[in-house]
Amino acid sequence: MVSTAAVKRALTALATRTDTATRPYVAVIDEAEAARTDLRRAAAFVDSVGLDRLSEAVTAAERDGNETAAERGRAALAAYREFREAAAGGDR
């Protein structure tokens, strides 16, 4: 099980690194996408990072012209919103 604290530490480290070619928004999108495959990891991502930060990462990707990352982020954001709706008992 991935802890919320571990996710926060990892994302903070990625966001503050200057020795990498990976943009911080890509790190957020990568983690959001990877976390979707595990319910606990997904919950930890939403709790520690949040959908607002994911949305900001998508906007940053679009602004940077990184359509591939932006599309992956939009797909992850849509999935998390569907998870939230399902958890709330909403019908589709």
pLDDT at 90 over 70: no
pLDDT at 92 over 70: no
pLDDT value, residue 23 = 86
pLDDT value, residue 1 = 61
- Which pair of tokens denotes residue 2? 């991935």
Total-model pTM: 0.74
Q: How far, CA to CA in Å, does 31 sit from each of 8, 47, 61, 88, 89?
A: 11, 13, 15, 24, 26
pLDDT tens per residue, range 6-52 = 777 777 766 666 556 678 899 999 999 999 988 889 989 998 899 99
pLDDT at 5 over 90: no
